[in-house]
């Protein structure tokens, strides 16, 4: 199965454009299945539903949780569908394989007042403070992942069009509009404040040494500002991304638009925010309805 697995992983990388870590995870799952099949003494064309049932039992005995089980099943389904498409198999033995039910944890979302308090924390009269305010503005204005934020370069910003070019997972490119405030902060930072860092790299956001700011650096700064703003629960860059999506939907944006802005390849990943809306609506009803 080694050649078939390699061909499938190349298909995921080149044709589907999946992120490197995602492809590595699928590859690890399939190699683990290959080793299991080798111990059984079976071959690719002998795999049937019974073989896969034995493999599921094997994974359970290894102590895999539902999330890991679901990913392994997804890996097998995709692999066998690929083999059917390539005519290595007549049908997929994983077609009827059921994934375990997963409890979807709703993402943490800040209120609009909390976002405002957070954005107001950095001091605007110092290079570090202005840098931090600009980063927070972009995270919330565009729903960026922290990896997307720290990899931004000046040419990615188009102030005239008010757009930001973002390189997302799997090197997928998307353009996200910026509101006027975010455009203003970016322009001021690039023209007035960034040169004071003594840039040694092309990335927009730099540390004290003039090198690109790390993801861990952004996390630490955000946690500090959140505490200063009186937000006691955990806050991460992804919290601002969740808040961005939820606030857009609350304002009337459609799910497909939010999917594009977030860079989600599957709308299923975006639908979680409709559950966030529902949960918040129930909480507000319980809090304010006179008969609650």
Task: From the candidates 34, 223, 238, 280, give the one annotated as an active-site residue.
Answer: 238
Alpha helices in the chain (DSSP H): 2-14, 20-40, 49-61, 66-85, 112-119, 127-142, 146-150, 180-188, 215-228, 237-250, 255-262, 267-270, 272-288
Cα distance between the two ends of the chain? 60
Task: From the candidates 26, 55, 140, 273, give the one annotated as an active-site residue.
Answer: 273
For this structure, is 169 an active site residue?
yes
Task: From the candidates 165, 169, 174, 215, give the one annotated as an active-site residue.
Answer: 169
Instruction: Judge contact between 5 and 80, C-beta under 8 A.
Output: no
For this structure, is 175 an active site residue?
no
For this structure, is 101 an active site residue?
no
Task: From the candidates 145, 194, 242, 247, give the one annotated as an active-site residue.
Answer: 145
For this structure, is 275 an active site residue?
no
From CA 201, how far away is CA 83, in angstroms rounded?
Answer: 44
Q: Indicate the DSSP class of residue 193.
A: I
Task: From the candidates 11, 58, 174, 264, give the one annotated as an active-site residue.
Answer: 264
**Which residues make Cβ contacts (< 8 Å) with residue 186, sequence separation at least 6?**
134, 137, 138, 157, 159, 178
From CA 1, how far away is CA 290, in angstroms rounded?
Answer: 64
Q: In what order do the strands lie in the sheet with 173-177?
A: 157-158, 163-167, 173-177
Task: From the candidates 121, 131, 194, 241, give the one annotated as an active-site residue.
Answer: 241
For this structure, is 241 an active site residue?
yes
- Which are the catalytic amino acids? 145, 169, 238, 241, 264, 273
């Amino acid at each position: 199965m080694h050649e078939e697995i390699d061909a499938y992983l190349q298909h995921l990388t080149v044709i589907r454009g999946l992120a490197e870590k995602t492809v590595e995870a699928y590859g690890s799952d399939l190699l683990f299945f290959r080793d299991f099949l080798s111990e059984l003494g079976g071959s690719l064309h002998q795999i049937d539903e019974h073989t896969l049932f034995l493999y599921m039992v094997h994974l359970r005995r290894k102590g895999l949780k539902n999330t890991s089980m679901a990913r392994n099943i997804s890996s097998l389904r995709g692999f066998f569908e690929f083999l059917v498409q390539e005519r290595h198999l007549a049908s997929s033995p994983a077609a009827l394989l059921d994934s375990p039910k997963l409890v979807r944890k709703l993402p943490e979302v800040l209120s609009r007042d909390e976002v405002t308090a957070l954005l107001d924390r950095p001091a605007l009269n110092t290079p570090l403070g202005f840098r931090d305010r600009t980063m927070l503005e972009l995270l919330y204005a565009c729903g960026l992942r922290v990896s997307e934020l720290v990899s931004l370069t000046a040419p990615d910003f188009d102030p005239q069009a008010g757009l930001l070019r973002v390189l997302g997972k799997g090197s997928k490119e998307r353009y996200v509009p910026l509101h006027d405030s975010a455009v203003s902060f970016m322009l001021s930072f690039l023209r007035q404040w960034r040169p004071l860092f003594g840039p040694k790299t092309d990335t927009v956001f730099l540390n004290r040494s003039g090198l690109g700011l790390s993801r861990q650096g952004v996390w630490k700064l955000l946690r500090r500002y959140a505490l200063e703003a009186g937000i006691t629960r955990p806050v991460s860059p992804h919290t601002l991304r969740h808040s961005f999506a939820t606030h857009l939907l609350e304002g009337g944006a459609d799910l497909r638009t939010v999917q594009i802005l977030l860079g989600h390849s599957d709308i299923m990943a975006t639908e979680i925010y409709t559950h966030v809306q529902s949960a918040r609506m129930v909480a507000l009803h319980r809090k304010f309805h006179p008969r609650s």
